[in-house]
Structure 1
Amino acid sequence: MKRFSLCLMVLTALLLGQAAQAQILLPGPTQVVPPPSPPPPPKLEVPKMPRIDAQPSYNYRPLPRNSFSDRFSKCLEDAAGAGLGPAHRGTYALRCAN
């Protein structure tokens, strides 16, 4: 009887022990995030070398003209600086601005 009870206890322990182990949930394998891809290599541009025998390029575009209001105001200031009276400033400014 002792043998039978001992075998029964061992068998019960084995069956219940496996059932108890099945309840333990181990964490799954960690998901390894791959490292980011390396940045693209910098684009190196060779600067354009000036040629010795090349003709120099000039910008022949004329400077933009100021507006009539700007020119008239400047002419009034010039007339006042020249010592003209108020009556003569208007005449001077009209001729100067055109």
Structure 2
Amino acid sequence: MRADTRPCAYVWWEWQVRPAHLLGPARARAYSHHMAVAASARRQRIGRALVAYVGDQAARRGSGDLALDVWAINPSAQAFYAALGFTPQRMVMIRAAG
């Protein structure tokens, strides 16, 4: 997506289809691995447009479900996604080596 003439944002997403398993039913969803908007382009509804784009792509494939990753150290991104209706579903914990 562009604002003016410079690239200012991107979203990396994929369509996921998962079969039913012991802990849950089959599901299909759009999964956003990463999204970024340059600081100079924020508050221009670009992030909302990217999320809407991914949501539209999911709907075209038969599911409006969207999932994403957001860093625990990024409360502004967490607030942004919460304002769009996303809720936490699980937490990934990491123990660094060394």
Of Structure 1 and Structure 2, the greater helix share is in: 1
The structure with higher relative contact order (CA 8 Å, sep 6+) is 2
TM exceeding 0.5: no
Of Structure 1 and Structure 2, the greater strand share is in: 2
TM-score by length of 2: 0.24
Structure possessing the higher radius of gyration over alpha carbons: 1
